[in-house]
Amino acid sequence: MNLFLRLVLAWLKGLRRPRLNILDECVSDFKVWFTDQDAFRHMTNSRYFSLTDVSIIDYMFRTKAWPKLRAMGWMPHITYEDMVFLKPLRWGQRFVIRTQFLGWDDDRVIARHIFERADGKIAAQGYTVARFVSMKGERIPTATVLKLLGTDPASPALSAEAQDIMDRALNGYRQPADRQAEAPIPVAA
C-alpha cells in the first residue's frame, strides 16, 4: 500500500515540477519510511528496486510519456535489473533517486538510478533494462515508441558499462566456455 501512496505523491509532486525531455535526468525525492526497513533497521534491498519503479513513473509523468503510452495501451516491461549497494539508508533519512535513460536499441531501453543521500553520498546505483509491450503482450519496437513520444530514434552512444548491462539483459550471466566444461561440484548427500 505504501508504494501506491508513493505513486500518488510522485504524481502530485510532478504536477508542480518542470517538464523533462526524454534524456533529462529526473530527480525524485524520498524519505525512508518505517515500513521500508528490515530487521537490521535499514532500508531493505527489495525496496530499492520498488522505488526505482516509482522513479520511472515520476519520469514518465514529467516527460508526458505516461498519457501517450496509456492511450496506446503500451507499457514498459522490465527484463533486467542490477543494483550495487554502497551505503545504508535508515529510517527517517531523506534521499533522492536520480533516474536517467541512457540509450536504447531496437528492442530495449536502459535507465540508470543513483540513490543519493542528503549528505551527498551515494547509497546505491542500479540499472533497469525494459522493453515496451502492448496489453496483449506484443513487443513494440523502441523506434515506434520514440516516434510516439516525438523523439529521434537514434540512441546516444552507450558507455561500456551500460552496454555490458544491455548484453547481460539479453544473454544472462553466461559462464565462459572453459567453465561450462568443468565437472559439476558434488553435493553432499
CA distance 63 to 21: 6
What are the cell numbers at 160?
561500456
Domain assignment present for residue 160? The answer is yes
Q: Is residue 181 part of a domain?
A: no
- What is the model's pLDDT at position 84? 96
Q: How far apart are CA 187 and CA 164, in angstroms?
A: 33
Q: Where are the alpha helices (DSSP H) in 20-64?
A: 45-62
CATH number at residue 41: 3.10.129.10
**Is 150 a member of any domain?**
yes
> How confident is the model at residue 1, as a pLDDT?
47
> Is the pLDDT score of 176 beyond 80?
no
Residue 178 domain-assigned (yes or no)? no
Half-sphere exposure of 89 (CA within 13 A, CB side): 33
| 86 in a structural domain | yes
DSSP of 14-82: HHHSPP--TTS-EEEEEE--GGGB-TTSSB-HHHHHHHHHHHHHHHHHHTTHHHHHHHHTEEEEEEEEE
How many domains does the chain contain in total? 1
Residue 187 included in any domain: no
Tell me the mean pLDDT in the region 8-15.
Answer: 84
What one-character DSSP code corresponds to residue 36?
A: G
Residue 182 lies in a domain: no
Give me the domain span that covers residue 91.
2-172
pLDDT tens for residues 101-122? Answer: 999 999 999 999 999 999 999 9
Q: What is the mean pLDDT of the chain?
A: 89
Does residue 100 lie within any of the structural domains? yes
3 or 88, which is more confident: 88
Task: Specify the pTM.
Answer: 0.86
Q: pLDDT tens-digit profile of 69-95?
A: 999 999 999 999 999 999 999 999 999
CA distance linking residue 107 with residue 146, whole number of Å: 11
